[in-house]
Amino acid sequence: MTTEFRNEPLTDFTKEENAVAMREAIEKVKRDLGREYPLVIGGERILTEDKFESINPANRTQVVGRFQKATKDLANRAVETAYESFKTWSITPATERADLLFRVAGLMRQRKHELSAWMIHEVSKGWAEADGDTAEAIDFCEFYAREMLRYAAPQPLTKIDGENNSLEYIALGVATVIPPWNFPLAIMAGMTGAAIVTGNTVVLKPSSDAPTIAYKFFELLEEAGLPAGVVNFTTGSGAEVGDVIVDHPHTRFISFTGSKEIGLRINERAAKVQDGQLWIKRVIAEMGGKDAIIVAEDANLDDAAMGIVQSAFGFQGEKCSACSRAIIDAKIYDSMLEKIVERTEKIQVGDPADPATNMSAVINEKAFKTIINYIEKGKAEGGRVLVGGGSDGEQGFFIEPTVIADVKAGATIEQEEIFGPVLAVIKAEDYDDALRIANDTQFGLTGAVYSADEAKLERARREFHVGNLYLNRKCTGAFVGVHPFGGFNMSGTDSKAGGRDYLLLFMQAKLSSTKIGATVGKKAEAGTTA
């Protein structure tokens, strides 16, 4: 009997035994840095002539892993292998597929700190952020396994006389799974797990900034008993690998999480029907955000300031849900600025392996330069830097948590996704103006409102156009099953990962209708003839 889903508990690192376990995991991972990892297609380990390296953003001379650059031929082979594997995996009973995810979740629990330690090194997550990522990956496996069992059970239909009818959900086909680097275990595991538990096969192309943790998850799939060819591990550039697997006529759907620009490009390519293609490809996309927290004049200012700072600078602001805009009522604007600055100045930037670190390096040199340019743009357009603004790219890609006040609605840093530790603070005339500013964006992922007035909160429920709205709490930190996650407009297809609708995106419904008595009569007729 499957138990009711419960979220994986987060680790309390104030307990010495937990801190010791994490330090031991970090040391273990350090000894394993710099290994070379293959492509895996149909179970075969493949090395290529061209390689690339994944490096530690907080220590740019430290190689985390060396990976293969797949060729177009190998990318095509991965899709064809997945296509052949689909013939058997798609008819594997749902209970067996769900059991596989339960086993994977169990393995992740056993190696929880080790998986977190890989993220500390590969994407510069601090202890708490990495632990939360691993816990969410476990949650996705546990939740989607239960969801598949629910969808595999008899589905309710209206009954009529003279017929037996049934509805079943069947797999789509080959999935191209392209996960992001910022939640390199949780989102990658969730996207991959959802695809395979529903009976699809996968070509997994992780981000080139976070391939190691994806390979570690792939090894867990193998250890849990996943048949060869159901998930095929490929690495390389978007042009050499990504475009090929998206375009291939045997690709049935694409599951993508990443930037708006890449998501739109994938959607456009997927819409073109290739020679030999028998279906309209489905695109499941979770893209960017320009998330805002509104602070009304009647809000608890201390709570609001804490929520803003945590949402803006947790994991260096490298979350699609991060607060990049604080929209504050003019009556409390100056008081809120003081509280935001006070809390931001306490953030300790440093090595993510150090438990005292609150914020670390951004993901790579390109992001480092882009974020710095946004800070300069913010100043050039009249913004006032209250704290931060400094950077150090010599050892790692470090940027100070930066608060820019007096940003005008419509300014570049108020409109464009920065994906870094930069908070734009905008003064609103009143609550009406704040809602208008918040909605005046092409995105619609997360948002929050701090107010003691229930009427204002109800207006936000009706008028704040985001997929995930939070009231009197921060706009980051969605839990699987609790806060189904996905946004509107250019934030994606509102896929609602971690929700009860999510697996429907990976399946199609088939109805079987049988006339009562027709089958029995046919058998009797056949028997008489014989």
Nearest Cα neighbor of 439 from 288, 323, 292 is 292
The residue type at 168:
E
463 is catalytic: no
- What is the DSSP secondary structure assignment for residue 395, as one 8-state letter? S
Q: Are 130 and 181 in contact (CB under 8 A)?
A: no
Please list, in sequence order, all residues whose beta carbon lies within 8 angstroms of the beta carbon of residue 107, skipping any fewer than 6 positions away: 220, 223, 224
How far lies 189's CA from each of 90, 136, 271, in Å?
Answer: 19, 9, 26
| Strand pairing category for 201-204 and 174-178 | parallel
**Biggest distance spanned by C-alpha atoms of the chain:** 93
Alpha helices by DSSP H, 440-498: 454-463
The Cα–Cα gap between 383 and 375 comes to: 9
The Cα–Cα gap between 416 and 324 comes to: 10
The Cα–Cα gap between 57 and 192 comes to: 25
Please list, in sequence order, all residues whose beta carbon lies within 8 angstroms of the beta carbon of residue 509, skipping any fewer than 6 positions away: 167, 168, 169, 170
Cβ count near 264 (within 10 Å): 14
User: Cα angle at 205 between 183 and 374, to 5 degrees?
Assistant: 50
421: Cα separation from own chain's centroid = 19
DSSP count for the chain of H helices, then E strands: 16, 23
The Cα–Cα gap between 94 and 80 comes to: 23
Q: Length of the chain, please? A: 530
State the catalytic residue, choosing from 80, 122, 142, 286. 286
Task: Please give the structure tokens belonging to residue 59.
Answer: 């220590």
State the catalytic residue, choosing from 129, 141, 320, 417. 320
Task: Please give the structure tokens belonging to residue 362.
Answer: 């951004």
Angle between helices 112-122 and 94-110 (to 10 degrees): 70
Q: Are 256 and 263 in contact (CB under 8 A)?
A: yes
320 is catalytic: yes
The Cα–Cα gap between 28 and 226 comes to: 26
Which burial class, exposed, middle or buried, applies to 271 when counting CB atoms under 10 A from its CB (0-12, 13-18, 19+)? exposed
Active site residues: 286, 320
